[in-house]
Structure 1
Amino acid sequence: MTAPPTDLETMALAGRERAVFTRPPGLRGVELLSATFVSHRYLPHAHDTVALALIERGAERYRYRGAQVRAGVGEVATVLPGEMHTGEAVTPDGWSYRVLYLHPDWLVGADGRPLAGFRNDVLADAALSRALRRAHRALLSADATTLARETVLHGVIDHLSVHADHRIGRELPRVPEAVWSVKARLDATPEAAVSLSDLAAGVGLSASHLSRSFTQSVGAPPHAYQMAARVRLARALLDSGESVAGAALRAGFADQSHLTRVFRRVVGLTPGVYQRSL
């Protein structure tokens, strides 16, 4: 029998699935996830951070930047801020990984230039993988000082610099003005009940035209984007100390159970476990 979970340990989700979310003390804009997933499938969502996921077992695939991407053992899957993506197992055995989420302010190379993107979405670099694993463990260690944590973290960034792509062409395609307006509206008030017809009328498009354009430009249909935005709002409310039930109500979910189901599909763990980990 395993020991009772501590603040930094996992809650069993279902069968062999488990996940641990952590924010290392003293490091703003740094978050960690250690997880094993089998049947879990992420809903389309985006992060405000750069996600660096080291695959420790199995393989993961995810829809990203208009393509299906696959990452296997020892490889580092990357996701840039604001990029809609999914995530699921490649085989019935699932996958295990360590994820490091970094605010873009951390991603500055030795030459002083920001690491706005990478030449490949999945990085096969043994030195980077070792550095990421070492950093992940140090950031979770209660014995590590802030200086030690920052040192290993910058070691990861130094290895990432090798894969930096500073070409302007790596930026997202220009989002049509109407889609940008709808996206901004959903970001500003994700909790609001709104129909596709209402959104389309607000930008002078037909509902079908807006749905196609939004999905093509953003990487997810409007309703899926709204749900991910509601999870972001709920997460901010939980960070501020709001109860799970209160966060569900204020973020526009039908009830606490609804929030719990969707939150897990986006974050990888339930809102209760997420809040306790803080």
Structure 2
Amino acid sequence: MSKNPMDVSKPLFWRDSRMPHVELRKVTDGRQVCYAAHSHAQWSIGAITEGKSTFCYRDDRCQVSAGDLVLINPDWVHACNPIDNQPWAYLMLYIDAEWLTALQYQLGLLDEPEWEDIGTAIVSDRRYYLEYCQMASCLLNSQMDLQDKQAAVIEYLSGLMRVLASRRNQPAQPVPNVLRELADYLDEYAAEEISLEDMCLRSGYSSGHLIRTFKRHFSLTPHAYQINRRIQRGQHELKRGRSIADAALTSGFTDQPHFQRTFKRVVAATPNQFRQSLLSDKVKAAPHK
């Protein structure tokens, strides 16, 4: 039986409830997925496995190609998209920031168990690229034991974190308290309708100054920031087993089609594809009788 050629356009998600701090995404035809500028709550590291793509990271824009690793801090806005519809493929690993912080602290790389952004955005080192691919292959292999997968992740990240610690840059300009408080407010009330006028009253900024200043520090306008948080909440609700309709409503989208369109634009997968990957993970993890 021949393989359906459309299957390559579907992203593959790997998760294991016994390793909740890590998940992996594999895309074999990056031409089929295009991202709007967005951010993740997790720290992310991706490997370009074929072709080339454009990597936009905050205010920087560059080209990455097969053999490159891209490193993305939590809540840093980014997008990685095809160049002139040329083929490219990638693997993306999402790591819980608190878990990674604890690992770095245990390794003696942090003075306090508090997250510190990593200044390096691109690693072009064949050794770490090949080791990354080996780790990903281990995670995707259903025949590998849980202990092997746990060891593969810890060993790889421990080695990489030691190298990155030696390249630590000066800290970025701190976010003004008033903007940090506004961002925290948008985090807490992401599902609510918050007008620009209300944001201006809370910050004391004019609308134009607020949009410009907020975007300079968070790389998104306040409204785009809130939409990004809604999609993150929608992902969380889908992971909890909620239906697409419930996830849309809980995350602040009263219109399910709007949720589906926005989810696809940010995640480069439909809510159903994301949800089906969760269901298939549960089947794989179920004990054999």
TM-score bracket, shorter-length normalisation: 0.7 to 0.9
Aligned residue for 2:163, secondary structure, equals: coil
Q: Per-residue CA shift, 1:58-94, capped at 9, x if unaligned?
A: 2222322321133211110110112121221233214
What is the aligned partner in structure 1 of residue 96 from structure 2? 103
Q: Which amino acid aligns with 1:198?
A: D
Tell me the TM-score normalized by structure 1: 0.88
Structure 1 residues 43 and 112: alpha-carbon distance in aligned structure 2, compared to 1, 3 A threshold: same
Gaps of 5+ in 2: 279-289
Structure 1 residues 11 and 205: alpha-carbon distance in aligned structure 2, compared to 1, 3 A threshold: farther
Tell me the TM-score normalized by structure 2: 0.85
What is the aligned partner in structure 2 of residue 71 from structure 1? 64
Distance 1:98 1:51 in 2: 10
The structure whose residues are more often strand, as a share, is 1
Provide the identity percentage: 25
> Does residue 147 of structure 1 match 2:137?
no
Distance 2:91 2:164 in 1: 21
Matches within 5 A, 1:55-204: 55-104=48-97, 105-106=99-100, 108-109=103-104, 111-114=107-110, 116-118=116-118, 120-165=120-165, 169-204=169-204
What is the aligned partner in structure 1 of residue 259 from structure 2? 259
Name which of structure 1's ranges 103-112 and 76-85 shifts more when overlaid on structure 2: 103-112
Aligned residue for 1:193, secondary structure, equals: coil
Aligned residue for 2:71, secondary structure, equals: strand
Q: Does the CA-based 8 Å contact 1:61-1:89 persist in structure 2?
A: yes
The structure whose residues are more often helix, as a share, is 2
Give RMSD over aligned pairs: 2.4
Name which of structure 1's ranges 163-172 and 91-100 shifts more when overlaid on structure 2: 163-172
Gaps of 5+ in 1: 5-9
Distance 1:38 1:53 in 2: 16
> Does residue 20 of structure 1 match 2:12?
yes
Q: Does the CA-based 8 Å contact 1:76-1:129 persist in structure 2?
A: yes
Q: Which amino acid aligns with 1:56?
A: T
Q: Does the CA-based 8 Å contact 1:66-1:219 persist in structure 2?
A: yes
Distance 2:245 2:146 in 1: 35
Aligned residue for 2:164, secondary structure, equals: coil
Q: Which amino acid aligns with 1:113?
A: L
Name which of structure 1's ranges 25-34 and 166-175 shifts more when overlaid on structure 2: 166-175
What is the aligned partner in structure 2 of residue 52 from structure 1? 45
